[in-house]
Structure 1
Amino acid sequence: MNPAALDKFLWRTTKSAPINPQTKIIETSKSRVRVRDTEGEKPAVVFFCDPPVMVEHYDDLIKIFSDTFRVVVLELTGCGFSKPKSAKAFEFSEVVLAAEDAIHKLKLGSVVLCGPCICGFVAAELARRGNLNIAGLILIQTPDAANMLAWFERTKKLLRIPYIGQIVVRATSKHLINFWFRYATGKQTNYSDMSTRSLEVISKGGIYSLATILQRWGKGLEDDAVEVPALIFWGKQDRSHAPTDRASSLKHVPNAELIEFEHCGHFPELEDPQEFAKIAKPFMDKCLYT
């Protein structure tokens, strides 16, 4: 049994995803992908969840954006109820394919993709692949590959050790999630509410495959430039990215505008959705309506 297979085994469950009229499971050849989808004929904005963030964290953003756009929130493989069908499905390239397949099946047409942290690499890779009609990218806390790998190295060493990391995350997920939201968010953020939402999903059968992501995704990360309209957001109070060169994000999208939120941490779109929307909405309008 390889480490990814162990992770799949450790997070096995017979529980079903929480019921919500806007939430569904999309079957792809790689994974079962959970999305929240406001549906309708409007141009679409797709937000990827940065684990341990789940679709439940996006309620406020959905309310703000759904008057103008079809809003889709997607849990990548290994997060929440997006569960792999095989151990191989944990690989970065397979996660990209599952997300691409899910978005195809939603029949969204032209989209703006919003990728936070490592999920920004998924969004950028989808734009490079060219199989989706991507009108724009929004990257949030997403550095270049070198800075992302350095971020990996700053995480607990135990989590980066095959097998041991998977067991530690499964056994201490409550502690890790509480610590992460407390450590990475801004001073004014109600991190306990964010943590509670994640833990509720996990208690109902959701998964948090942090160790496998740390161990397996690194080889798939690239930062080749993508020629697409883009915004870059950084929350300056994110202690986990304190040493990160924020300008390195421009390696993904050289012509992007870089916006910094002084009062936010790792999740500026969730910590201050109103302020995020003031900047992101006009950009999305330009990408999708002109």
Structure 2
Amino acid sequence: MELRRQQQYGFDYVDEGQGPVLLLLHGLFGALSNWQDVVAEFSSEYRVIIPVLPVYDMPLLQATVPGLVSYVESFVEKLQLPTEFTLLGNSLGGHVALVYTLKNPGRVSRLVLTGSSGLFEDGMGGSFPKRGNYSFVRERVGYTFYDPSVATKELVDEVFAVTNSNAKCLRMISIARSAQHHNLAGDLHRIQVPVLLVWGLNDTITPPSVAHDFERLLPQAELRFLDHCGHAPMMERPAGFNHWLGGFLRRTTVQLAQAQAANSAR
């Protein structure tokens, strides 16, 4: 399905379907299309919302993980999203989702992380893209996936355009460094909501060991791996990703309803 972008209150975003809200956050080199298969699968039962994170356009001094969290907070407020919603994040988007949850514990009912930063990330294979070197950019973008062919020419061209803009590069580097320095290991125990971790078994940017660390540090986490899959499971293995996500949503919907009923009876 083709994603329809909307613009309101100064935000650029996708808003598809009706029902409980799934708020999706893309990564540093991500785009709305990264979540296309999730929207197609779940918009019949959920309201699926994807804001465009201003990773290349925000003021340079705000180009940090906390700056992006503030952006998401403003987005949620302006769109008057429900008191509780499910938050999903890939890579940098997962990092932002974690910090948002820590700052707004009453807003997030469930959390889904896939290839998330926040503990460790070998961004772009240990180096930033070189300006004007298309073959280098193509290689580094391909490094994101188990199957490099998933890195389409369109995707490589988008990243190449970013690397040829000094202003965009400065913001990208600022955000990437902020993510690397903003380690959440000491804070994750405070996240008490159900968490689904879906990880590529062949992820070289946030390797499987990172997923195991998240599982150990998050009190209510469950971990699922997808084989022959790199850093963006929802793109590279969409059927498998949607399978684990759908089961998690159904199961935790029952659990959350039971918990709410028990609290009301007290």
Please state if 1:36 is matched with 2:14. Answer: yes
Conserved? CA contact 2:117–2:179, under 8 Å: no
Give the superposition deviation at 1:143.
Answer: 5.6
Cα-to-partner distance string for 1:86-106 (whole Å, 9 max, x where unaligned): 222202211111011112222
**CA deviations over 1:10-42 (Å, ceiling 9, x no partner):** xxxxxxxxxx87313454xxxx543211154x1
Instruction: Give the structure 2 partner of residue 220 of structure 1.
Output: 182
Within a 5 Å distance, the mapping from 1:116-131 to structure 2 comes to 116-130=90-104
Bigger relative CO (Cα 8 Å, ≥ 6 apart): 1
Question: 1:263 and 2:228 equivalent?
Answer: yes
Deviation at 1:246, TM superposition (A): 2.8
C-alpha change, 1:153 and 1:288, in structure 2 (3 Å) is same
Among residues 87, 91, 96, which one is paired with 2:64 in the alignment? 91
Matched residues in 1 for 2:11 and 2:224: separation?
30
My pick for the range that moved more, 103-112 or 260-269, is 103-112
Please give the alpha-carbon distance, in whole angstroms, between the structure 2 residues aligned to 1:278 and 1:102. 29
Cα RMSD (Å): 3.1
Match of 1:66 in 2: 43
Amino acid at match of 2:5: T
C-alpha distance in structure 2 between counterparts of 1:251 and 1:144, whole Å:
14
Deviation (angstroms), 1:228: 0.6
Structure 2 equivalent of residue 23 of structure 1: 5
Q: Cα deviation per residue 1:90-129 (whole Å; 9 max; x = unaligned)?
A: 0221111101111222223131111112322211111111
Identity of aligned residues (%): 18
Distance 1:196 1:68, change over 3 A: same
Higher mean C-alpha deviation, range 267-276 or range 237-246: 237-246
Q: Establish whether residue 281 from structure 1 lines up as the match of residue 246 from structure 2.
A: yes
Distance 2:102 2:192 in 1: 9
Cα distance in 2, alignment partners of residues 246 and 252 from structure 1: 10
Task: Tell me, yes or no, if the aligned pair for 1:47 and 1:115 is still in contact at 8 Å.
Answer: yes
Q: Is the 8 A contact 1:24 1:34 kept in 2?
A: yes
1:254 corresponding residue in structure 2:
219
Partner of 1:192: 151
Once structures 1 and 2 are overlaid, which stretch shifts more, 248-257 or 174-183? Answer: 174-183
Q: How does 1:219-238 map to 2 (within 5 A)?
A: 219-223=181-185, 224=187, 225=189, 226-238=191-203
Provide the aligned length of Structure 1 versus Structure 2: 246
Unmatched segments (≥5 aa) in structure 1: 1-19, 160-167
Matched AA of 1:62: V
Aligned to 1:178: 138
1:155 corresponds to = 126
Measured in 2, the distance between the counterparts of 1:238 and 1:256 equals 19
Q: Is the partner of 1:263 in helix, strand or coil?
A: coil
Structure 1 stretches of 4+ moved >6 Å: none
> Shift in Å at residue 55 of structure 1?
0.6
Letter in 1 for 2:181: K
Per the alignment, in what secondary structure is the counterpart of residue 238 of structure 1? coil
String of CA shifts for 1:122-147, please: whole Å, max 9, x gaps.
111111112662110011122652x3
Deviations 1:174-214 (A, max 9, x none): 55552233112123x64233x51463598699956432222
TM-score normalised by length of structure 2: 0.78
